[in-house]
């Protein structure tokens, strides 16, 4: 019985030691495995998170930088290109539009002003010419009419006077002493 009891104790001690050793080993192994797994998982997670964060940050920074650079480049390039294009377009369009508008306005103004000026000048010239020509013609006509009428009247008067005087002279005999 002693042997059995001793065996029982031995088994009990063995079990206890086994449990303790098992626990210790298990704990050690668990810790080791846990550390390894933790390290691996942490590394993986860290890498993933880092990648994600890096991607996100990179994207954000890239977007921001891109926006800033784009804005600056856009301002510079667009400003320069716009100025150049505007100058060229302005030269072309302004030249064409100016020519067209100038022609159109010139035509309209020419019509209006030329019409008005023409009318004014025509009136003035007509007045002057009328004065001059009418005066000259009047003088000429007056002279001619005067000559004609005066000549006709003079002849008529002369004839009548001649007739009257002839009758008077020939009707009464006069003595000449």
- Residue 45: phi and psi, rounded to 5, are -60, -45
Token duo for residue 63: 């977007």
Q: Which position has the higher pLDDT, 171 or 132?
A: 132
Q: C-alpha distances in angstroms, 37 versus 9, 30, 48, 84?
A: 39, 10, 16, 65
> How many CA atoms does the CB half-sphere of 65 hold within 13 Å?
6
Neighbours of 87 (CB within 10 A): 11
**pLDDT band at residue 51, thresholds of 50, 70 and 90?**
confident
Scanning the structure block, which residue is given the tokens 């704990």? 27
Token duo for residue 96: 């064409």
Q: Report pLDDT digits (tens) over 138-165.
A: 788 778 877 887 788 778 888 888 888 8
What is the pTM assigned to this prediction? Answer: 0.24
Alpha-carbon dihedral sign for residues 166, 167, 171, 172:
negative
């Amino acid at each position: 019985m002693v042997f059995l009891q001793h065996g029982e104790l031995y088994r009990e001690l063995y079990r206890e030691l086994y449990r303790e050793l098992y626990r210790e080993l298990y704990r050690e192994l668990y810790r080791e495995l846990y550390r390894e797994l933790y390290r691996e998982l942490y590394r993986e997670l860290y890498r993933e998170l880092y990648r994600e964060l890096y991607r996100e940050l990179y994207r954000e920074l890239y977007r921001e930088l891109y926006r800033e650079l784009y804005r600056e480049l856009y301002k510079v390039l667009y400003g320069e290109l716009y100025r150049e294009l505007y100058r060229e377009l302005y030269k072309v369009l302004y030249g064409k539009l100016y020519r067209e508008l100038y022609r159109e306005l010139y035509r309209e103004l020419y019509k209006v002003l030329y019409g008005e000026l023409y009318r004014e000048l025509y009136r003035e010239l007509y007045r002057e010419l009328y004065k001059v020509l009418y005066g000259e013609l009047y003088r000429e006509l007056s002279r001619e009419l005067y000559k004609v009428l005066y000549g006709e009247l003079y002849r008529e008067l002369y004839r009548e006077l001649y007739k009257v005087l002839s009758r008077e002279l020939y009707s009464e005999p006069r003595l000449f002493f």
